[in-house]
Structure 1
Amino acid sequence: MNIAIIILNWNGKALLEQFLLSVTSYSKEATIYVADNASTDQSVAFVKANYPEVKIIKNSENGGYAKGYNDALKHVEEDIYCLLNSDIEVTPNWLDPIIDTFKTEPDTAIIQPKILDYNNKTTFEYAGAAGGFVDKYGYPYCRGRIFNTIEADTNQYQDASIFWASGACFFIRKKTFHALNGFDESFFAHMEEIDLCWRAFNTGYKAKYINNSTVYHVGGATLDASHPKKTYLNFRNSLFTLTKNAKGNIFLLLLVRLILDGIAGLKFLFQFKFNHLIAILKAHISFYGHLSSLLKVRKQHTQKSGYYSTTSIVWSYLAEKKRHYSQL
């Protein structure tokens, strides 16, 4: 079984200088690629000069995370893909339990390791933590992170089936990725991995969290969490994912989402974060502009076996004050 680590890069020379050494040092089992999204800095030159063993894939444009990986993975032949953010430090032997799981569990198609905070290595990191789930209205949350409440890692989350794996460090079988036609490029960036995992689940594939593999993620190195564009993409793409994949009466779900997103917008208003309020409004305008095409995609797939949570994470978090996954 061959494994490829593919690091998507866009003007990230500083991150490659900081983190690529850990990947090359602790990933001898893998072929390592840097997929460059038409960078204008010296990223590619740096990799060629300092890491001749790393293969370079040059994309013709910056198509974001989704298109960037879709284009790059056409040139990767290995059986297992590891899509790795450029702001991740890996650890010794991190690949061993991942490879073992793929070998011994043929029904497992997607895997995520433990993702801890690079700047506070005793706590989980926002983007993935110990594996993700989605509530009945399409809001994502994780074992170890619900909204902005992040838990310390006390080894409380062992190996388990999960609903989605983080795109920060995302393992997937090559045949599964291509059977699902890869990422939805209309997302550009953010939550495309959740959409892919939801489509995988609806098709019968399984995702798993592996506790004995650890990586450290900076998070927000390419787009800070406080940036309104991130708010825009997260709200819009969450609606995209829900419409495409959820079971049940989609219009009722969208009505509830409209109300809940409105409440989130009011919160930003009261916090004087007007750019984030505008970002939510723009997200909904863009979503409604895409609604017709999203409904057509929805009709092409059955949601009979699709994931449908009975939980409202917003209600659990705000009304019931359940801040940790173990309380749900």
Structure 2
Amino acid sequence: MHTLAIVILNYNGKKYLEKFLPSVLKHSHGYPVYVADNDSTDDSVDFLHQYYPEIRQIHFPLNHGYAQGYNEALKEVNATYYCLLNSDIEVTEGWLTPLLDLIESNPVIAAVQPKILDYNRQNYFEHAGGVGGFLDVLGYPFTRGRLFDTREEDKGQYNTPPIRCFWASGACMIVRSEAYHQLGGFDGDFFAHMEEIDLCWRFHLAGLEVWASGDSVVYHVGGGTLDYQSPRKTFLNFHNSLAMLYKNLPDNRLAGVIFLRLVLDGVAGIYFLVSGFPKHCWAVARAHFAFYARWAGWRRKRRALAPLRENGTVIPLYGRSILRAYFLQGIKTYSALPPDDSLFS
């Protein structure tokens, strides 16, 4: 068994493999690198065979999406820790050492992430990760470095010792393989987006921890497979957010939060419509229709998680609303948020 294996999930990402694989191989410290291909229709596979025969390839006959794609790929990888790495990430010298040191320091740590900066604006945090992710009382995600669409400039403000957080970014995370498989891995029904937050929620329910280290730095292009402006991305974000909340929230908060999100998502849909983005408005509506259409399936998943939810573990949600802070109080940075014990800092 390897100590660590780096696993890159690819779908029509030849241009990113060409650009970023050299940095991964250069700075991977000899750990094996896998590329799992989600039935790409470009020539990614031929490119890897020709130029990177040392990379271990896993091929799927269909596109499983991010979530189930990794579930299937990791069945083929034998390692104590998995590094899940997007194909559109440039890694830096020494990036693995702080992350491995951190996750190996305590068996209760299930996942860790680095500082994730924007490849195209390298002094700014990237949307997908910052330096550790959090979730507010209504289920809105944010990071050290980003609130909604406002990304901070990296001025070293989060160059602190490693911190506990709620979720680690699926763009680049190291996860303990035993915990990953014991808790069922990603939810394949999410396809893509929010699956890492859902998994990290289960880690917390099981009494495990998630951490972030600013001593490791990577650069993320973002939107490499699905563009940030895509209505499909809007659909997945709204749909999977509902599914995650329904699966994981405690009974005494479930109805209230789901009702509020129904209202707030309706407001978001109207905003898209009046802003000239009708396809995104329809994506929000479709997200709700799709969620309620599969209510029975989500209910079964919620029931399956009942033993974890009932074990008394305190879930570290940020106890305030970042929606209120951002839009009503004008707070645009993580460090300006009102303090809360769940922020671990």
- Give the TM-score range, shorter chain: over 0.9
- Indicate the residue corresponding to 2:120 in structure 1: 119
Correspondence for 1:310 among 311, 319, 326: 319
In structure 1, what is the equivalent of residue 340 of structure 2? none
**Residue aligning to 1:98:** 99
| Cα pair 1:3 1:81 within 8 Å, conserved | yes
One-letter amino acid of the counterpart of residue 156, structure 1? Q
Structure 1 counterpart SS, 2:32: strand
Gaps of 5+ in 1: none
2:153 and 2:318 map into 1 onto residues whose CA distance is 26
Q: CA RMSD in A?
A: 1.2
The 3-state SS of whatever aligns with 1:201 is helix
Specify the alignment match of 1:243 in structure 2: 246
2:130·2:146 contact (CA, 8 Å) conserved in 1? Answer: yes
For residue 172 of structure 2, what is the aligned residue in structure 1? 169
Per the TM alignment, residue 271 of structure 1 is displaced from its structure 2 partner at its CA by 0.5
Residue in structure 1 matched with residue 302 of structure 2 by the alignment: 298
Corresponding position: 1:197 with 2:206:
no
- SS of the aligned residue for 1:128 comes to strand
- Once residues 205 and 53 of structure 1 are traced to their aligned partners in structure 2, the CA distance between those partners, rounded to angstroms, is 35
Q: CA deviation at 1:129?
A: 0.9
Q: Secondary structure at the match of 2:236?
A: helix
Q: Which runs of 4+ in 1 moved over 4 A?
A: none
- Partner SS for 1:75: coil
2:262 paired residue number: 258
Deviations 1:109-146 (A, max 9, x none): 10000000000110100001111111111111111001
> How do residues 19-58 of structure 1 correspond to structure 2 at under 5 angstroms?
19-58=20-59
Q: Contact 1:88–1:218 (CA<8 Å) still a contact in 2?
A: yes
**Deviation digits for residues 79-105 of structure 1, max 9, x if unmatched?**
110010000000001011111112222
Q: What SS class does the counterpart of residue 122 from structure 1 fall into?
A: coil
Are 2:216 and 1:208 equivalent residues in the alignment? no
Whole-angstrom CA distance in 2 between matches of 1:194 and 1:276: 23
Q: CA deviation at 1:219?
A: 0.3
Q: Which runs of 5+ in 2 are unaligned?
A: 338-345
Which residue pairs with 1:188 in the alignment?
191
Q: How much has 1:211 moved relative to structure 2?
A: 0.7
Q: Does 1:218 align with 2:221?
A: yes
Q: 1:321 is aligned with what amino acid?
A: G
CA distance in 2, matches of 1:66, 1:10: 13
* Offset of residue 306 of structure 1: 5.0
- Matches of 1:107 and 1:143, distance apart in 2: 22
Match of 2:230 among 215, 227, 231: 227
Bigger Cα displacement from structure 2, 300-309 vs 238-247: 300-309
Distance 2:318 2:213 in 1: 23
Supply the distance in 2 between the matched residues of 1:203 and 1:292 (Cα, whole angstroms).
24
Question: Which has the higher mean CA deviation after the structures are superposed, 291-300 or 139-148?
Answer: 291-300
Deviation string, structure 1 residues 54-101 (Cα, Å, up to 9, x no partner)? 111112210100111011100100111001000000000101111111
Q: Residue 79 of structure 2 aligns with which residue? A: 78
**How far apart are the structure 1 equivalents of 2:305 and 2:65?**
26
Q: How far apart are 1:41 and its partner, in Å?
A: 1.8
SS of the residue corresponding to residue 128 of structure 2 reads coil
* C-alpha contact 1:65 1:188 (8 A) present in aligned 2: yes
Contact 1:26 1:93 in 2 (8 A): yes
The number of aligned residues is 328
Identity %: 48
* C-alpha distance after superposition, 1:151-200 (max 9, x if no partner): 01112112200100110002101101101111101000111111000111
Q: What's 2:138 paired with?
A: 137
Helix, strand or coil: the match of 2:218? strand
Question: TM-score normalized by structure 2?
Answer: 0.93
Alignment check: 8 A CA contact 2:13 2:224 kept: no
* Contact persistence 2:10–2:87 (CA under 8 A): yes
Q: Distance in 2 between matches of 1:309 and 1:154?
A: 24
Whether the 8 Å CA contact 1:246–1:306 is kept in 2: the answer is: no
Q: 2: distance between equivalents of 1:102 and 1:306? A: 21
Asked if 2 retains the 8 angstrom alpha-carbon contact of 1:126 and 1:219, the reply is yes
Separation in 2, partners of 1:294, 1:326 = 35
C-alpha displacement at 1:50, in angstroms?
A: 1.1
* Aligned equivalent of 1:61: 62
| Deviation of the 1:253 alpha carbon | 0.9
Distance 1:150 1:249 in 2: 30
The alpha-carbon deviation at position 265 of structure 1 amounts to: 1.1
Q: For 1:253 and 1:54, how far apart are their aligned partners in 2?
A: 45
Out of 297, 322, 327, the position equivalent to 2:331 is: 322
